[in-house]
Structure 1
Amino acid sequence: MFTRKQRPAGEPEPYWKQRSWQLSAGFLAVVLVLGGIVALTSGQDTGADRVGAAPPGPLSGGAAARNGRPQGCSTDDSTGDALPKSPPKDVSWHTFGVTRVPVSASAGPTRTTGDVRWCFARTPLGAVLAAHVIPSQMSGSGWRAVAQQQIVAGHGRDLFVFQRSTVQGIDGGEGSGGTSAASYAGFSVTSYKSTAATVKLLLRTGQGYAATTIVLRWSGGDWKVLPNSDGSLHSPVTAVQGDTNGYTLWGI
């Protein structure tokens, strides 16, 4: 009789069966970002894949208006640097591509130009909303415009664009009814100042909770995602053990 082949002691499981890979795949189904999936070098970049191919927009240039914001952008920044203890009272949920994302009339995004949803409050809560909204816009066909205007320029952005250009988009827009492998459950602001913020996102998956971190910078009058050197827009996704203490829950 045939016997099942046993894996030698110490040999790792196939990557698709590993818990960390499954969690990352779940998050990628939400935002379709590619960091850590493809190992590329700057020498593989091509002119056709660069973000400059996208049309200009309100956040494309380096100069902001006199008040520090692009023309037409106005937010309530009266809460200052106070870290949020609860979600904004005016939060609503919109479907971008395949995931539902929180938006707020007070914290942002308050403006939409083409495929770009922008103008976030210069507050910790504004950074939280940007950390949710900006990556979630990367699933559709308008991702180049989003990358050009809402990812900090540099090698990391160029690498993200190269990687993203190899994957087909998932268009759907608001109200598309798309489904995803994970959903946004909460957040934690782990560091904040008026020019930089680090936001940890709590995700709800079929296996429980997981978390990932997104770093943002204030640039050109709005929050933008600062990519990692490998082109990823977020840290590796990890399981959350135990309860969700330390996170502010969205309550949905």
Structure 2
Amino acid sequence: MRTKTIILTSLISFLFCMNGYAMDAESTQTGSTKSNFFSKLLSRGDDLPEKDVAIEDDYNAKFVIEGNTVIDSKDLYEITEDYHGRVLDSKELEAAANLITQEYWNRGYITSLAHTPWQNRDDGKARIAIVEGRLGDVTIKHVNDNERFAKFNRFNDKFINRYLTKSAKESAFNNKNFERGLLLLNEYPTLDVTAALSKGKEPGTSDVVITAKEKKLPLKASVFVNNHGSRYTGHIRTGASLDIIN
């Protein structure tokens, strides 16, 4: 029994010595072929992928944001900073694009969209493209409660377009500016203006149909009778008025 113990102890010592020899050989013979079993055992992890190496479906998160004109690139990079400097899969890249889209919508650019185009894996960049929606054709329909006076529309196309000029000239359609123009038009007592957006004929555009309804004649007539007169005019007073509403 004692003999077996001695042999086992010697074998363990031999293995440790060989292990140390392999480590010394590896440090002094860098780049040489590892021919013995122990040096191969020590290098068995060389073929494993590094922790941060991108797999086939991932993209390097060096961001390139393209197509933005109305929002500064600095602002867009700031809202996507959590996705910078690390490996992203396609879902994470899409999530970063959604953050940019939401920023556009928050600022009133409700027809603008950020998306992930085809990615070139060789250039080490993750691209997000932005399509800034523009205002396309504007159609104005006039409706008058009094058909006999329909041809006498006071609120013609030129008048209405004057309130929407800012939106029409913008490089990207902004709903806040457009709504402001509609609100100003609706401040006229006899005018009711509504708008409906639809897909434009050209890519990246939205057409709008504006319905301008004149609710009644722009006239207000009244007659009054009272006893508020003086002794010089008589106690009973009568009168009539005709007001033009504008």
What TM-score range do you get, normalising by the shorter chain? under 0.3
Larger gyration radius, structure 1 or structure 2: 2
Q: Decide which structure has greater helix share.
A: 2
Q: How does the TM-score come out when normalised to structure 2? A: 0.22
Q: How does the TM-score come out when normalised to structure 1? A: 0.22
